[in-house]
Structure 1
Amino acid sequence: MTKQLHRRNTVLMIFTIFALSINMRPAITSIGPMLDTIREQLSLSNAQVSLLTAIPVICMGVFATLAPFLNRKYGLYRTMLTMILLVGIVTALRGFIPGFPVLIGTAFLIGIAIAVMGPLLSAMIKQNFPDRAASIIGVYSFGMGVGSATSAGLTAVFFEATGSYLFALSIWSVLALIGLVAWLFAMRAQITVQQLPPVVVKNQREKMKSPWKSRKAWLFLLFFGLQSSAFFSIITWLAPIAMAAGMTLLQAGTLLSIMTTIQIFLNILLPQLMQQFPARKFWLLFMLLAGMLSLGLFWTGNHSLMWIGAVLMGIPLGGLFPVALLLPLDETETAEEAGAWTAMMQTGGFIMGGLLPLLIALVYDWTANHTYTFSIMVGLYVLMVVLTFLIGDKKE
């Protein structure tokens, strides 16, 4: 009976991680299909409407350090409960109060909530599944992929059915309800994330070499930032690019959905393949070349080639993020050191990931030409290729 109870609690915890992780992207990825609609209905510039995806991503970098502080002060239960409620309430708010200020305000609050939830979920996985961390991180990545794919593909469907972009954006608050119910049930098992006292953490940091002084850590930060920029740029701009090429809103949404569906499975598959065949440089170059080929196909404006491009783009979108997360783990000796490197990488990387897509919007406002959009995106991939050679293969 005890073994059955333990098994049931484990399954519940894994489902809860999935239920919470599906809420980590829809408030951002649902904006892409609605980008042109929001811009036209609210008379905004491309730069203004792009803030709706840029602000949450920047917040994911800036406010990530709040997670351990809130966990120490209020505990895991109340902190996660507050964050998932925040995501649900402010996402729902988009459907009731129209206007650009509301969209910006909700984007900011959602960004803070995701910034806190992410590190706490990672800590839960590390503490409760020490021998299966890679597999459970796969569930976490899979959940984010499901949220991305579902919102990218169905937002346009909801808009076509209702004629309201407010409803199409706010409907994703339903996912927060799923996460909330799962969290309330899971907390019956008294899940906690134990943290060392601040004094002990400070003493450990003083003994540890700062990643900010490491050339390799800076390379990881740049790589994480570039892959984040590439991900959020393509998620935000593919639908407007497809519509500019003559696709309908539903076709553009389906294009996004195909791309993110491929991404879901590769979130799990590619890291496993890299574990079996550990040639990091080869796999990174394979993913990056697939991304550049995909951009070339999108650039043609030919609808048939763009569908092929959507399938190919799922390769870098699915593989680069989990591989980037593994880079600090491969290069560090202790959990504390790995945590410090990861914190540095994600803080700087997510700020880059929010700013560079905004640059695309500014350039498009000035030029009204997606040739520059593609040039910037290709530039991101070329820089990642250069970084791949500088980073090299896994440390033995």
Structure 2
Amino acid sequence: MSQRTLNHSVILLLITIFIVSVNMRPAITSIGPMLDIIRDDLSLTNAQVSLLTALPVFCMGLFASLAPVLNRRLGLNRSMYLMLFLIGVMTMLRGVYSNYTSLIVSAVIIGIAIAVMGPLLSAMIKQSFPERSTSVIGVYSFGMGVGSSIGAGLTAIIYESTGSYPFSLGIWAVLTIVGILFWKLSTKGTIRVHQQEKEKREYGKTGTVSPWRKKKAWLHLLFFGFQASSFFCIITWIVPVVTDAGMSLVQASMLLSLMMTIQIVLNLIFPLLYERFPKRKFWLFLFLTMGMIAIVLLGTGISTLMWVSAFFMAIPLAGLFPIALLFPLDATETAEDTNTWTAMMQTGGYLIAGFLPLLIAIIYDWTGNHHNTLMILAGLFVSMFILTFLIGEREQQVNRA
């Protein structure tokens, strides 16, 4: 294979990773702008309608461990085709049936599909780009940021144009068609994350300790859970929080769009900076400090300061997720181990992340204000500060010192 053909294949694979990762968020974030409309149309409580965003995240945790199993049984290629197909069909279902049962069923199956795709993509990046995994994780996280942003920002615009929230939710199935086409173009044959066959023949096992018995893996799990919780809590509840403080719905939607636009840009920039300046603790402290400042500004209830908070909050939303994805890559040597560590981290982490937005909904139904919402967000950032000290710098960097 010529160098030109090789470069073409690499570029196509990077584009595919981006497009596939875009598909992993709109089905979740598109619900947020429609929460009040769905709640009123179907006569639901805040807690009931919040299940539409909480259940996919719960499933992303409960079923992340399916990724290594499906890799062994079907291979990465067939697994990704199946998961993209499920996301597309379930998203389309929302556009056809506008009842609570269909929304709940689609939320569960979409969550399972995303649960499997995440660890497999991380492992494939480790295997296909061993020397540039940090940069490629940036492409992955950038795609997810774009998916989150278009789901959160454009759904309301589509609804205003069509007057149909089922259509506004179902339209995102188009993205999966593009994802399947690009996956077919860039991958051939049956792809699997390589197994350590030599070690298995010699020792009868991989010789590695399960991440569930590693203290560092548990710290990664908690950190991933708290950063994912902060993301889903903010995406789901930032509009109600600022409207509760006096903003109009239009202003609140614009604030969310501003925050997501800034996040998209930073999602691409930050991973490149991580590779050039690899001190993990420095970046984590910076992002967490920005998040705390944003929460304080939101808590003032002053319109101008809440707009400024959108900029500060976009920084941790963009920066924390790609760093959390790098934790398993830093701690492991092989793609198989990366797959296992990532599956564990996302299993527990997304279970935590599914619970917190639902807890906010329950408390809001009970109290009628969002003071406790801000307190929960502040608690998440303080907890991540503590975990940053416990996790320390990446092992490979320490070993080189």
Query: Normalising to structure 1: TM-score of the pair?
Result: 0.92
Does 324-333 or 20-29 show the bigger shift? 324-333
Instruction: Identify the residue that residue 12 of structure 1 maps to in structure 2.
Output: 12
Q: CA deviation at 1:30?
A: 1.0
Q: CA RMSD in A?
A: 2.3
Instruction: Identify the residue that residue 320 of structure 2 maps to in structure 1.
Output: 320
Q: CA deviation at 1:171?
A: 1.4
Q: CA deviation at 1:185?
A: 2.2
Does 192-201 or 224-233 show the bigger shift? 192-201
Instruction: Identify the residue that residue 117 of structure 1 maps to in structure 2.
Output: 117
Does 151-160 or 127-136 show the bigger shift? 127-136
Q: CA deviation at 1:335?
A: 5.1
Instruction: Identify the residue that residue 22 of structure 1 maps to in structure 2.
Output: 22
CA contact (8 A) 2:297 2:305 kept: yes
Distance 1:4 1:126 in 2: 23
Distance 1:391 1:133 in 2: 20
Q: Which amino acid aligns with 2:297?
A: L
Does 194-203 or 383-392 show the bigger shift? 194-203
Instruction: Identify the residue that residue 191 of structure 2 maps to in structure 1.
Output: 192
Count of residues in Structure 1 that have an aligned counterpart in Structure 2 = 394
CA offsets per residue over residues 77-99 of structure 1, 9 Å max, x none?
A: 33222211111111111111011
CA contact (8 A) 1:71 1:79 kept: yes
CA offsets per residue over residues 39-92 of structure 1, 9 Å max, x none?
A: 122111111111111111111111122223223323333322221111111111
Does 72-81 or 13-22 show the bigger shift? 72-81
Instruction: Identify the residue that residue 98 of structure 1 maps to in structure 2.
Output: 98
The answer as to 2:145 corresponding to 1:145 is yes
Instruction: Identify the residue that residue 352 of structure 1 maps to in structure 2.
Output: 352
CA offsets per residue over residues 5-50 of structure 1, 9 Å max, x none?
A: 3332222222111111100011111111111221122111111111
SS at match of 1:307: helix
Distance 2:393 2:362 in 1: 36
Residues 71 and 274 of structure 1, relative CA distance in 2, 3 Å threshold: closer
Mark the runs of 5 or more structure 2 residues left unpaired by the alignment: none
Q: How does 1:168-317 map to 2 (within 5 A)?
A: 168-187=168-187, 189-190=188-189, 192-196=191-195, 200=200, 203-204=204-205, 207-317=207-317
Distance 1:382 1:145 in 2: 24
Residues 193 and 81 of structure 1, relative CA distance in 2, 3 Å threshold: same
CA offsets per residue over residues 244-265 of structure 1, 9 Å max, x none?
A: 3343433322222221222223
Instruction: Identify the residue that residue 369 of structure 2 maps to in structure 1.
Output: 369
Q: How does 1:31-110 map to 2 (within 5 A)?
A: 31-110=31-110
Distance 1:37 1:152 in 2: 14
CA offsets per residue over residues 103-139 of structure 1, 9 Å max, x none?
A: 1100001011111222222232222222322222211
Query: Normalising to structure 2: TM-score of the pair?
Result: 0.91
CA offsets per residue over residues 287-324 of structure 1, 9 Å max, x none?
A: 11111111122222322222211111111001111111
Q: CA deviation at 1:363?
A: 0.8
Residues 336 and 194 of structure 1, relative CA distance in 2, 3 Å threshold: closer
CA contact (8 A) 1:98 1:166 kept: yes
CA contact (8 A) 1:332 1:338 kept: yes
Instruction: Identify the residue that residue 391 of structure 2 maps to in structure 1.
Output: 391
Distance 2:277 2:125 in 1: 25
Q: CA deviation at 1:238?
A: 0.8
CA contact (8 A) 2:127 2:334 kept: no
Identity %: 56
Q: CA deviation at 1:224?
A: 1.1
